[in-house]
């Protein structure tokens, strides 16, 4: 028979696994670097504090799959590596919605709207998102 302390430990471990699983599945910091898709790296990649934005907003404020103009995306599909979480699955130079336009529309659209309503917001100047010197974090999507 397992001792009470052992059972207690086992519960903690299981609780830990359950609680940490959803958090581990999403990146905290993303270097947005689609220069291969753009085919014209005119601007440096953009550092995006995904985790911070994730805490402040709903996943479906940014991620979507539209059907009859309704966002029907299931949040549980949003996992690292999943095509549902990748903007380029649907927005790329070959599609109607140009990638650069939709990124600016999403990021700047929200920052501008919040700023106008006098709330805490994010940057709107080119240089604040596209630094002169590339960010020193490795990777990219
Ligand atoms: C403020 C906008 C925003 C919010 C809110 C947001 N995301 Fe994201 N997320 C993005 C952008 C932009 C990317 C980069 C996608 C790309 O490069 O194609 C991304 C990427 C991801 C990726 C990584 C895709 C990959 O394989 O690298 C996952 C997983 C993800 N998001 C899940 C979530 C979940 C779950 C939530 C809610 C808890 C959430 N996101 C909230 C904008 C957002
Ligand atoms: C499953 C396909 C799909 C994925 C994945 C996707 N989009 Fe879209 N997106 C669409 C469609 C379809 C529209 C609507 C286009 C229209 O009606 O003209 C759209 C519209 C938009 C718009 C216009 C405003 C709005 O919400 O209607 C923005 C901005 C946008 N997408 C940004 C993004 C970003 C950023 C990502 C990645 C985090 C992303 N999209 C992922 C299909 C997708
Ligand atoms: C739904 C609204 C919303 C969207 C969409 C959004 N942001 Fe933000 N962003 C914010 C708010 C609010 C802050 C201020 C957060 C704070 O200071 O606590 C912020 C802050 C920032 C900052 C500066 C501080 C930090 O946390 O890094 C950067 C850089 C940034 N956003 C980049 C982006 C990029 C890039 C995108 C698009 C991929 C984006 N944001 C989309 C609302 C948004
Ligand atoms: C809130 C953040 C933000 C601001 C402010 C911003 N951008 Fe961007 N921009 C992005 C993101 C995110 C992308 C997509 C980057 C990627 O995934 O490679 C992008 C992509 C681009 C691209 C296409 C990629 C390339 O290298 O050719 C150009 C050009 C660009 N931006 C120019 C500008 C200019 C000019 C301004 C100022 C008028 C500006 N941006 C302001 C976030 C921003």
Are 64 and 71 in contact by the 8 Å Cβ rule? The answer is yes
Q: Coil, strand or helix: which one is 123?
A: coil
Residue 97 resides in a domain: yes
CATH number of the domain bearing residue 101: 3.90.10.10
63 domain-assigned? yes
pLDDT score recorded for residue 6 = 54
Answer yes or no: is 39 within a domain: yes
Percent of the chain with pLDDT over 90: 57
| Domain-located, residue 5 | no
Regarding pTM above 0.85, the answer is yes
Instruction: Give the span between the Cα atoms of 129 and 123, in whole angstroms.
Output: 7
Q: Note down the domain range covering 68.
A: 27-129
Round the average pLDDT of the chain to a whole number and report it. Answer: 82
pLDDT at 106: 97
Q: Is 4 a member of any domain? A: no
Q: Tell how many helices (H) and how many strands (E) occur in the chain.
A: 6, 4
**Which residues lie with the beta carbon below 6 Å from any ligand 4 atom?**
32-35, 38, 40-43, 45-46, 100, 103-104, 107-108, 111, 122-126, 128-130
118 inside domain: yes
Please give the Cα distance from 16 to 133 (Å, whole number). 40
Q: Which atom of ligand 2 is nearest to the CA of 106?
A: 29
Identify which has the larger pLDDT, 1 or 113: 113
Instruction: Encode pLDDT of 81-114 as tens digits.
Output: 999 999 999 998 777 678 889 999 999 999 999 9
Ligand 2 centre distance from Cα of residue 96 (Å): 10
Query: How far is the centre of ligand 3, averaged over its atoms, from the C-alpha of 9 (Å)?
Result: 39
Residue 49 located in a structural domain: yes
Are 109 and 98 in contact, with CB atoms under 8 Å apart? no
- The residue-averaged pLDDT of 31-56 equals 88
Res 60 pLDDT > 60: yes
pLDDT of the residue at 113: 97
Answer whether residue 120 is part of any domain: yes
pLDDT of residue 58: 97
What pLDDT was estimated at residue 97?
A: 72
Per the structure, the count of domains in the chain is 1
**Cα separation, 89 vs 54, whole angstroms:** 21
State in Å: Cα 18 to ligand 4 middle: 37
């Amino acid at each position: 028979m397992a001792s009470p302390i052992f059972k207690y430990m086992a519960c903690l471990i299981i609780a830990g696994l359950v609680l940490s699983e959803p958090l581990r599945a999403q990146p905290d910091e993303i270097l947005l670097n689609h220069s291969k898709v753009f085919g014209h790296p005119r601007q440096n990649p953009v550092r995006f504090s995904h985790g911070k934005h994730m805490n402040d907003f709903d996943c479906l404020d940014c991620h979507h799959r539209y059907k009859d103009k309704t966002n029907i995306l299931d949040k549980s599909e949003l996992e690292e590596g999943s095509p549902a979480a990748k903007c380029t699955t649907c927005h790329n130079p070959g599609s109607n919605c140009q990638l650069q336009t939709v990124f600016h529309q999403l990021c700047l659209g929200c920052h501008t709207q919040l700023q106008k309503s006098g709330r805490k917001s994010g940057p709107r100047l080119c240089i604040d998102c596209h630094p002169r010197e590339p960010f020193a974090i490795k990777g990219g999507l």
